Amino acid sequence: MRKAQWMTGVLGAALIAFAGVGSAQAQQVCEATEFGSEAGQVYLNAETELIQNDNPAGALQQLNQLRNMELNCYERGAMLRLSAAVKINQDDLTGAIRDLDEAIRVGAIAGDQVGQTYYSIAQLHLQTENVPQAKAYMDRWLATGVTPTRDQNWQLAVIHQQLEDYRGALPYAERVLAADGNNASRQTIDFLIFLYDRTGDRAKKAELLQRLLRTDPNDRRVWDAIAGDYYSGNQERRAFEVYKAMYLAGLLTEEQEIMRVVNFYNQFNVPFEAARILEMEMNRGRVSKTFERLELLATLYQVAREFDRALPAIREAAQMSPDGKMYERLGRSLFELGEYEDAIEAYQSAISRGGLSEPGYARVMIGQAMYELDRKGEARDYFNEATRFSDGRRAANGWVNFLDSEIRTQIALERFQLQTRLQGLTNEKDSCDELRVFGNNLPEGCSTIDDRIAEVQAEIDQLG
């Protein structure tokens, strides 16, 4: 029953106990200190109906009779307080507030009782969800010089928070935290974190978040709040350190969360660690092995200059791709590693699949790989083919000119070597002729000197 609630609570004390107390301060406002016999009997009847008989309707009937009588200030104050109690019992909280307001206005409630009545009215307004009026009466109560208890400070903080007066709520909430000390509940700490967030006091918010982490290092919500604060404060490096700690602690298990860590490592120029985590998580199945993820993995390893480790990702991505772009990338990687046969095969697959942004350059790369394998004739064919494409024409022409120059250089070298040989043979012939004049026995080589000179001259003539 509601009667039991208000009889044992603050309102019961404020509304019933006041009826029989006439303090010296109250007498300054109301000199009467007791009931007259007739009014007193009616009041007792009303009180009996309410308290003993649990009959609020009967009590109200007696009070209406009392209200129509000529009452002194003491009798009127008692009647209004009891009337408020009855109306609370009947859920007529607005009527109860009117009675208590009138009791204060007419001086029936005075001194210390005024402050307590303000507090009671505030509680009634809270029950009717009239928070602005509740705050107004709490302010009047505080103005009487009272010192709120721990629970009253909490209520004041909540009232201000509901009115979005976060700065006004802070001192009351801080008093609650101070009163609770190390035994402060999570609710209290979370509430203060919310207030510090709304008022922009990030330092105090951080202190409380760290306090929560000391209590429970695996509290994901707290870690997220800390990282979020760093984000909003444009301190991405600190946010990265938080996410790294969360990952190492095993708190991040979802793909989106893990990819945030990967992207952080990449953003802060640690591509190898980003690639290592991405590859490990794809192998564990926590990150999907999609074309995009494989392409990113390959890029990270290549940026980290771990070209060997990039190859498996590029190969797998190439097999998933509907065009030849990843095969082109595979060919480039293999070429840089000196694996020319495999590079040629990859570039040929790229050309076959199509969709290349630089089809001419792909042919140039095949030509270069063949050149490195000393397959210069095939290399020239690919360079010539590349000249048909605008993207590869300049490079291809450069290579064709280089090959031509190489051939000319080779011919010039061969001609020089042949001419050197021819000069030697000519000198040998002159020696043979001199010996023949003196009639000496000729060396065996003199018999073949003319044939040998003719052979070398023929080779020179072939060079053109």
Closest to 107 (Cα-Cα) out of 41, 10, 30: 30
CA distance 376 to 399: 11
Whether residue 91 sits in one domain with residue 163: no
- What CA–CA distance (Å, rounded) separates 286 from 289? 9
DSSP conformation letters of 202-220: HHHHHHHHHHHHHH-TT-H
Q: The domain that contains 92 carries what CATH number?
A: 1.25.40.10
What domain range is 184 assigned to? 149-215
From 215, 234, 261, the end of a domain falls on: 215
- How far is the C-alpha of 456 from the C-alpha of 452, rounded, in Å? 6
How far apart, in whole angstroms, are the C-alpha atoms of residue 324 and residue 350?
A: 4
Residues 256-270: what's their mean pLDDT?
94
User: Which tokens sit at 415?
Assistant: 């001609």
Give the pLDDT band (50/70/90) at residue 49. confident
Q: Is residue 40 part of a domain?
A: yes
Residue 404 lies in a domain: no
Residue 351 domain-assigned (yes or no) = no
Give the pLDDT band (50/70/90) at residue 239. confident
What's the rounded mean pLDDT across residues 337-355? 94
Same domain for 57 and 27, yes or no, is yes
- Asked if 139 and 1 sit in the same domain, the reply is yes
Quote the tokens at residue 444: 């065996």
What would the pLDDT profile of 160-202 be if each residue is shown by its tens digit? 999 999 999 999 999 999 999 999 999 999 999 999 999 988 8
Q: Is residue 195 part of a domain?
A: yes
CA–CA dist 464, 457 (Å, integer) = 11
% of the chain residues with pLDDT over 70: 93
Place of tokens 């590029």: 314
The string of DSSP codes covering 145-198 is T----HHHHHHHHHHHHHTT-HHHHHHHHHHHHHHHGGG--HHHHHHHHHHHHH
Per-residue pLDDT at 30:
67
pLDDT reported for residue 332: 92
Q: What is the pLDDT, as a whole number, of residue 29?
A: 54
Q: How far is CA 129 from CA 14, 65, 269, in A?
A: 21, 32, 55
Q: Within 10 A of 304 (CB to CB), how many other CB atoms are there?
A: 19
Confidence at residue 16, expressed as pLDDT on a 0 to 100 scale: 46
- Indicate the helix (H) or strand (E) that contains 361: helix 359-372
Asked if residue 209 belongs to a domain, the reply is yes
Q: What is the token pair recorded at 196? A: 């510090």
If one counts every other C-beta atom within 10 angstroms of the C-beta of residue 209, the result is 21
pLDDT tier for residue 447 given thresholds of 50, 70 and 90: confident
The answer to whether residues 115 and 178 belong to one domain is: no
278 burial level (CB within 10 Å; 0-12, 13-18, 19+): buried
Q: Is residue 384 part of a domain?
A: no
Under DSSP, the state recorded for 19 is: G
- 77 token code pair: 């104050």
How many structural domains does the chain have?
Answer: 3
Residue 463 vs residue 390, higher pLDDT: 390
Query: Distance between CA 411 and CA 416 in Å, rounded?
Result: 8
Q: Tell me the pLDDT band of 38, cut-offs 50, 70 and 90.
A: confident
Residue 175 and residue 65 share a domain: no
Residues 201-209: contacts with CB under 8 Å, at least 24 apart: 202/229, 202/233, 205/229
Tell me which of 4-13, 67-76, 309-318 is least confident. Answer: 4-13
* Alpha-carbon separation of residue 292 from 241, 272, 296, 420 (angstroms): 26, 18, 6, 63
| Structure-block tokens of residue 53 | 């008989």
Same domain, 76 and 111: yes
| Residue 40 and residue 129 share a domain | yes
Cβ contact 96:88 at 8 Å:
yes
Q: Does the reported pTM lie above 0.85?
A: no
What separation, in Å, do the N-terminal and C-terminal C-alpha atoms of the chain show? 125
Q: Which two tokens stand for residue 406?
A: 């190489």
Whether residue 85 lies inside any domain: the answer is: yes
| Region label for 53, one of left (φ > 0), alpha (ψ between -120 and 50) or beta (otherwise) | alpha
Does residue 1 register a pLDDT over 60? no
Average pLDDT value for residue range 319-332: 92
137 and 6, same structural domain?
A: yes
Q: Do 31 and 138 reside in the same domain of the chain?
A: yes
User: Could you give the percent of the chain with pLDDT greater than 90?
Assistant: 53
Judged by average pLDDT, the poorest of 6-20, 133-147, 157-171, 244-258 is 6-20
Tokens of 166: 């976060």
pLDDT of residue 7: 34
**Does some domain include residue 166?**
yes
106 lies in the same domain as 174: no
116 and 166 both lie in a single domain = no
Among 90, 120, 146, the domain boundary falls at 146
Residue type at 259?
M
Boundary residue ending a domain (193, 215, 237) = 215
Identify which of 35, 10, 33 has the alpha carbon closest to the alpha carbon of residue 115. 10
Determine the average pLDDT of the residues in 273-290: 96
Between 150 and 429, the more confident residue is 150
Closest CA to 19 of 107, 64, 62, 82: 82
161 and 93 within one domain: no
Instruction: Tell me the torsion sign for CA atoms 453, 455, 460, 461.
Output: positive
* Alpha-carbon distances of 60 from 65, 79, 106, 242, rounded to whole Å: 9, 10, 21, 65
